[in-house]
A and B are shown apart, each in its own frame.
Chain A
C-alpha cells in the first residue's frame, strides 16, 4: 500500500515539474539546491576516455553527468600548406548533433546550436594556442597535415560546449601521427614496417624526424553557467537551459588566464560581481578538469 501511495506522490511531483517548471526550480533554488541534489556551483561528475575510436588518429569520449556524451575523432590528411604559412598545418572543426542525441533534433532540419558550437570551438582552439600549427608541418612548403576534428553529440543534456571542448582536447591529446616519409618528388607515402623498396628505385626516401604526438600548449577548459535573478547555476542540464535562458560560458586556461568569455544576450543581466563569481566557479572547475585529463592521459598506453 505504501509503495502505491509513494508512486502517486511521485506522479504529482512529476506533473508539477512539467506544468510549472519555473516554480518547481525556484522552490529548490530558495534552499540553494537543484532537483538532482547538486549545490548551485557544482558541476556534474565528468569522465573522459581516450582512444575510443581505433579507426581515427586521435579520439576521445567525454561524458558529463550520466547522460551528456560527446565523441570526438581527429583524422589527419596530407595537404599542401598555404603560401603565406608554408610551415604550418591547419585544423578544421565540425560539430554535429545527429538526431539520436535529442528529441528536439529532427532530420532534415539542421539545428542552429550545432553551427554555433562549431564556430565557438574553432575560435577557442585557434585563439588559445593549445595547438602549435607548426607541429602539423611535414616538410616546409611542400606538405603539411590537415587535422579534421569531428565531434558527434550522442546524448544531449545541457552544457554542450563544455563537453565538446573537453572531448576535443582529449582527442588532440591522444593524437598519434602516422609514420610517413617523403619521396624526392615531394610525395608523402606512409611508412609501414614491411615496405620493400623496388630494386630499380635508386632514390632514397627522406625520412622525416617523426614526431609522435602533439605537445599541447595552454589547455583551455570551460564552464557554462546560467543566470537567474540572483542565482548562478553551474553546468546546467537541458531542462535548466530551457527554463532559464541566459547562459555565460567562461573559458580559462590551466594557469587561470581568461581565453574566452561568451554571453549571447539573454533576459538576465550580469553585473561585474556576477561575472567575477562565474570566473571563480570556472577556476575551480578548471582544477577538476585538469585532474580528469591527467588521469585519462596516464591510463593511455605509452607510445
Chain B
C-alpha cells in the first residue's frame, strides 16, 4: 500500500506535512456549563464541561485546589467496525487519565478550592488522532465554561506524516502525540508508539509542534468570534 503517491500526495490528497481541515463550534450542549465540537478531517469529538461544582464524594475533596475529572468514551458507531466496548475499557481509562492530567496542568485549580470540574469527551466519528482531537475539544469547552486557564492547550499527532488519519495510523509506523501550551511554549503531553531513531524523533516532534501551533491559531480565532457574538448579544458592542 502506498502512503505517498509518486506525485507526492497522500491517500486523502494531502501533502505529507499538511494538516486536515479543522472545524470547531462552541456552546453546542445547552445543559452543560461549557461545550464544544471539534473536527479534524473525519474525526469528530464532542466535549462537555460541568463545573466548578460541589465535590460528589467529600473524602475526595481537595482543600486547596479544584478536583478535575475526565471521562472519555467512543460511540459504538464511531469506527468502521462495531466492537462491544465494556465500561471498564482499558484504552478509554488510559486516555481519560491522559486528558485529565493534560488539562489539570493548564487549569488554574488553586482559584477554585474544594470544587470539582468534570470534563466529558465523546468521540462521534473516529478517523485517527482521537486523543489529540479530544484535548483540543476539551480546551474549547473549558474556555466556553469560563474556567480560568493559564494557557490554551492544543494537541496534534504526527508520525512520518503530519496529522494521520486511520489508514495511515494503522500502517504501523511511529505515532507521536504532543500536547503543547503554546504561549509558554511548554509541552504537557508527549506519547509515542513504535520505534524511531533519535534524530528522526526530533523532526517528528517538531512536526507535531507545528501542528499544535496551527491548531491554536484556529482555536484563538474561534474564541475571539465567540466573544464578539456574546458582546453583540449583551449590547456592549454595536
Contact: A67 with B31, CB < 8 Å?
Answer: yes
B48 in contact (CB, < 8 A): yes
A155 in contact (CB, < 8 A): yes
Contact: A99 with B31, CB < 8 Å?
Answer: no
Partner of A154, one of B46, B56, B79, B80: B46
In the complex, identify which listed stretch (A50-58, A128-136, A262-270) lies at the interface while the others stay far away: A50-58
How many angstroms between the C-alpha atoms of A77 and B120 in the bound complex? Answer: 29
B102 in contact (CB, < 8 A): no
Contact: B31 with A101, CB < 8 Å?
Answer: yes
B118 in contact (CB, < 8 A): yes
CB distance from B130 to the nearest CB of A (A): 12
Partner of A156, one of B31, B118, B124, B127: B31
Contact: A75 with B120, CB < 8 Å?
Answer: no
B101 in contact (CB, < 8 A): no
| Chain B 30-42 per-residue mask, 1 if CB under 8 angstroms from chain A, else 0 | 1110010000001
**With A3-B235, A73-B75, A99-B118 as contacts: A53 and B125 at CB distance below 8 Å:** yes
Q: How large is the interface on B (under 10, 10 to 19, 20 to 34, 35 or more residues)?
A: 20 to 34
A200 in contact (CB, < 8 A): no
The residues of A that contact B42 with a CB separation of less than 8 Å are 54-55
How many angstroms between the C-alpha atoms of A54 and B120 in the bound complex? Answer: 23
B71: nearest residue on chain A (CB-CB)?
A: A107
B77 in contact (CB, < 8 A): yes
Partner of A157, one of B30, B73, B82: B30
Contact: A71 with B125, CB < 8 Å?
Answer: no
B75: nearest residue on chain A (CB-CB)?
A: A152
Query: Which of A94, A99, A157 has the largest number of chain B CB atoms within 10 A?
Result: A99
How many angstroms between the C-alpha atoms of A148 and B82 in the bound complex? Answer: 9
A150 in contact (CB, < 8 A): yes
B165 in contact (CB, < 8 A): no
B interface residues (Cβ-Cβ under 8 A, vs A): 28-32, 35, 42, 46-48, 50, 53, 56, 69, 71, 73, 75-80, 82, 118, 120, 122, 124-127, 235
A interface residues (Cβ-Cβ under 8 A, vs B): 3, 53-56, 59, 66-67, 69, 71, 73-75, 77, 94, 98-103, 106-107, 148, 150, 152, 154-157, 238
The 9 A-B residue pairs whose C-beta atoms are closest, nearest first, are A73-B77, A100-B48, A67-B30, A56-B77, A150-B76, A75-B82, A100-B120, A99-B120, A107-B71
